[in-house]
Structure 1
Amino acid sequence: MTNEKNFSAEPILLGVLHGAYGLKGWVRVQPFQDTQALLSSENWLICDREGGVRPIRMEKAKVHGAGLIAKLEGIETPEQAAELRGAVGMYRKDFPQIEEGEFYWVDLIGCEAVNKAGETIGVVKGLIDNGVHDILDVQKPDGSSVLIPFVDSYFVEADLENRKIVLDWDPTWS
């Protein structure tokens, strides 16, 4: 039930380019989730719809409203910035270090979710941010989904090396 895929060699999409900002080649970026990874690394990727990936160095970035604005190396005019299309991503190796007990969503997706008794709940297929806390979207063996709050009262441990999350959850709960 575990996902054996190695994400370290694949781009992880973190946001979408939304055109030019200002007159000096800055671009608008709408992040999919937390902006920390994008703000902390200069090693960005531009991923186009055809599957092309182009590395680009982020020179400066800052939060602007609900998104980011960024100055990318080699992009000097609003026309050049407006031509950029696609998603912004990074390789997992370029993500900033996080504190113990914190997790990047990409590391949890594909993990087998089991309860403390070792019973299978399902596989984490995604996460949802409801504004208060994260929620695990777990696909059960029968193909249905169960949403499990990713909070201390249900979370026991994560063994990312073995792609397993242990939860205090009864598999019969829907």
Structure 2
Amino acid sequence: MSQWFNVGKIVNTHGLNGEVRVISKTDFANERYQKSNILYLFMTENEPIQLTVKSHRTHKNFDLLCFEGFTNINDVEKWKNGILKIKKEQLTSLDEGEYYFYEIVGCKVVTNDGEEIGTVKEILTPGANDVWVVKGNKGKEYLIPFIDDIVKSVNVEDKIITIEPMEGLLS
């Protein structure tokens, strides 16, 4: 049985030529949405629909995708709220120091002094670097920027991230 990874959600159509507007949930949109790549569309409990990317562009905060064989708004309108996924086998190996979101979410965050901060709940991608949202043990949330000055080690096997907090980060 395949393990699936969510890469985006179709939120609307765009124009009349079969283009769909996607809110991406992937760490590598340009790689995922390359021409000829295969994506799987999940609608309710039906079998996923295999789609081949025909074109990709960005517009405002959305990724706009066209799929081969679907050239009209009427072909794709029914896909609103559908989830685009890939199979685990489609994941590519990453360079050292790069991680997939699913590897980071759920990791325990500790300081280099051994103090437990909390668990990574989600990842924000606001710009220059990712920001990890850590839910503290007492319910407080911390925003940890994924930069070398702060993140000292990431052990995805043991699900432990060690940080060196700079002043004010945990207050």
TM-score by length of 2: 0.78
CA distance in 2, matches of 1:141, 1:103: 24
Instruction: Please give the secondary structure, in 2, of the residue aligned with 1:90.
Output: strand
**1:142–1:64 Cα change, 3 Å:** closer
CA distance in 2, matches of 1:59, 1:113: 37
Q: Tell me what 1:44 maps to.
A: 39
**1:44–1:151 Cα change, 3 Å:** same
CA distance in 2, matches of 1:161, 1:32: 23
CA distance in 2, matches of 1:9, 1:168: 38
**1:162–1:51 Cα change, 3 Å:** farther
Segments of 5+ residues of structure 2 without an aligned counterpart are none
- Pair 1:113 & 2:106 matched: no
Give the letter for the 1:27 counterpart: V
Offset, 1:60: 2.2
CA-atom RMSD in angstroms:
2.8
How many residues are treated as equivalent by the alignment?
A: 164
Identity %: 21
Q: How does 1:17-96 map to 2 (within 5 A)?
A: 17=10, 18-19=12-13, 21-23=15-17, 25-32=18-25, 34-40=28-34, 42-48=37-43, 50=44, 52=46, 54-66=48-60, 67-85=62-80, 86-96=82-92
CA distance in 1, matches of 2:58, 2:117: 40
CA distance in 1, matches of 2:136, 2:47: 34
Segments of 5+ residues of structure 1 without an aligned counterpart are 1-7
CA distance in 2, matches of 1:113, 1:127: 14
CA distance in 2, matches of 1:63, 1:52: 28
Cα deviation code 1:79-113 (max 9, x no counterpart)? 11122122222234323332211122222100111
TM-score by length of 1: 0.76
- Pair 1:173 & 2:170 matched: yes
CA distance in 2, matches of 1:58, 1:145: 39
Q: Tell me what 2:6 maps to.
A: 13
CA distance in 2, matches of 1:91, 1:65: 26
Q: How does 1:128-147 map to 2 (within 5 A)?
A: 128-147=124-143
Runs of 4+ in 1 over 6 A off after TM superposition: none
Of structures 1 and 2, the one with the larger relative CO (CA 8 A, separation 6+) is 1
8 Å Cα contact 1:58-1:70 kept in structure 2: no
CA distance in 2, matches of 1:84, 1:51: 13
